[in-house]
Amino acid sequence: MFSRLREDIKTVMDKDPAAGSLLEVLTYPGLHAITAHRIAHWLWLKHFRLAARVVSQVVRFFTHIEIHPGAVIGRRFFIDHGDGVVIGETAEIGDDVLLYHQVTLGGTTLVKAKRHPTIGNGVMIGMGAAILGPITIGDHCRIGANAVVNKDIPADCTVVGIPGRIVRRNGAPIVDSAVMDNVTNVVDPQDATIRKLRQRLELLEQHSEKLEELIRRIEAHEGRPHFHYAPGD
């Protein structure tokens, strides 16, 4: 256990540029949550289910990170900031995984079976992302902020949007989009397109109002009856 703790502390130092001294790292709620989870998971496997639940809920109260004692978590797991993270009972997380705050690894069914995601090795999941159902996220994938993923994702992919779409695979772009190296704050390409269309529509409406005002002035000057202009006439 102490070997794992040292490894977890080193992981924080390696993955968080803001990490300073050892004492500072020891205050991290993500470190508290994963250390307590290892104890709760051991109790869960030994069928001390109530005790495991108590440990989990106490840590949840202090850290705002909820990890079910039944979840299987690999080595060098790091939760940055941590607030609002939820990891379900049958979730499985590989080694070297990085989660940001408000990530949900949730289920989509009430059936007592495998109902939570399996996360591969080296995966990074951006803030607010939701990975739902008994799906598999391949090794070294990057899930963008606020993405909602409900289908299997192959290894080495970058996923953004609602629902989640693969925009890069094996380093090559799948769609015409900017390079998405920092997916913790990436904008969904379709959202950007919709925003541009809205801006153009607003511009057209402004021009339409100006044109209608100009027509009214011409009619008033010439004494002709007013007619209403609408785009497309």
pLDDT in tens, 61-115: 999 999 999 999 999 999 988 889 999 999 999 999 999 999 999 988 888 889 9
Share of the chain above pLDDT 70, in %: 87
Q: Which long-range contacts (CB under 8 A, 24 or more apart) does 138-146 make?
A: 139/94, 142/180, 142/183, 143/183, 144/180, 144/183, 144/184, 144/186, 144/188, 145/100, 145/183, 145/184, 145/185, 145/186
Q: What is the mean pLDDT of residues 108-128?
A: 90
User: Does residue 224 surpass a pLDDT of 60?
Assistant: no
User: Does residue 183 surpass a pLDDT of 70?
Assistant: no
pLDDT at 132: 94
Q: How far apart are CA 220 and CA 230, in angstroms?
A: 19
The 10s digit of each residue's pLDDT in 7-25 is 888 888 888 788 778 888 8
Banded model confidence at residue 226, pLDDT cuts 50, 70, 90? low
Domains of the chain (ranges; CATH) run: 2-187 (2.160.10.10), 188-233 (no CATH)
Mean pLDDT over the full length of the chain: 84
The 10s digit of each residue's pLDDT in 192-207 is 677 788 888 888 887 7
Is the whole-model pTM more than 0.75?
no
In the Cβ-directed half-sphere of 169, how many Cα atoms lie within 13 Å? 9
